[in-house]
Amino acid sequence: MLGVRVNAVQIPEVVEQMERWICERHGYRFIAVTGMHGVTEAQHEPSFKQILNSADLVVPDGMPLVWLGRRKGYPMERRVYGPELMQTFCSATRSKYRHFFYGGKPGVPTLLAEILQRNFGIDVVGMCSPPFRTLSKEEDEEMIAQINRSRPDVLWIGLSTPKQERWMHEHGPKLRVPIAVGVGAAFDLNSGTSKQAPRWMREHGLEWCYRLCQEPRRLWRRYIIYGSEFVWKVMWEISTSHRLH
């Protein structure tokens, strides 16, 4: 999709793949949960496109990606919604694995961990809300050491796109973790610090409208500028491919 490889998968398949990787423990893997915003961001930054294409899974967290997947013949019923992926994995595996939460505003990872522990009985081995600024080399190394000392099976990253994908890609060689998953707003939504759009909006590609109304100053560029650009570029790609055939 616009030069970005997106895996035509659904949540149960992603959960199954995560469990397989944890059991195999063949080094480090990372999953990018991306939608229209991530694919459009990749059009502006070739280095980010390379990062997405180097991910072990790029899952479609956005109905436009699902619609385009269906158009290409893939049987995709729903999107791989980040908050739902996190909850489904925790619900399906309970206390089987060790979890670390990295990201979110101060207090959010702690609240998220408490809620998921209460609801699903998961084993939380660490959490951190990093400062918004760039960490110094020493701070960064200490953070990696803290994660590695905790020995998590799953490292959940909530830094938003494209920051979280860059982080997972750059820190991979130093992390002794089977899987890192970039779930962005799932930290706020699953901790209850941000409101979720009603289910019917989420299932019909209208979540962007709800979120834009809630945070217009932060999200207007993502949804209005990038959204329009995404539609235009996809239409151009489709029309070009029709002409070639």
Could you tell me the mean pLDDT of each successive run of 10 residues in the chain, 245 residues long?
Answer: 96 98 95 95 96 98 94 94 97 98 96 97 96 90 96 96 96 97 95 90 86 85 84 86 64
The pTM assigned to this predicted structure is 0.93
pLDDT number for residue 218: 84
From CA 124, how far away is CA 129, in angstroms rounded?
Answer: 15
pLDDT number for residue 179: 98
* Token pair for 20: 């397989």
pLDDT number for residue 242: 63
pLDDT number for residue 244: 60
From CA 235, how far away is CA 173, in angstroms rounded?
Answer: 38
**DSSP codes, 34-94:** E-HHHHHHHHH-HHHHHHHHHSSEEEE-SHHHHHHHHHTT----S---HHHHHHHHHHHHT
* Token pair for 204: 């019909």
* Token pair for 8: 């035509």
User: Tokens 């195999």 label which residue?
Assistant: 24
- Which strand (E) or helix (H) includes residue 123? strand 123-128
- Which strand (E) or helix (H) includes residue 231? helix 226-244
What's 182's DSSP letter? Answer: E
pLDDT number for residue 243: 64
Question: 89 phi and psi, to 5 degrees?
Answer: -65, -45
Instruction: Give 75-81 contacts, CB < 8 A, sequence gap 24+.
Output: 76/8, 76/10, 77/10, 78/10, 78/11, 78/203, 79/35, 80/9, 80/10, 80/11, 80/14, 80/33, 81/11, 81/202
DSSP E strand stretches across 173-232: 179-182
Pure H helices in 130-171: 137-150, 163-171
pLDDT number for residue 145: 97
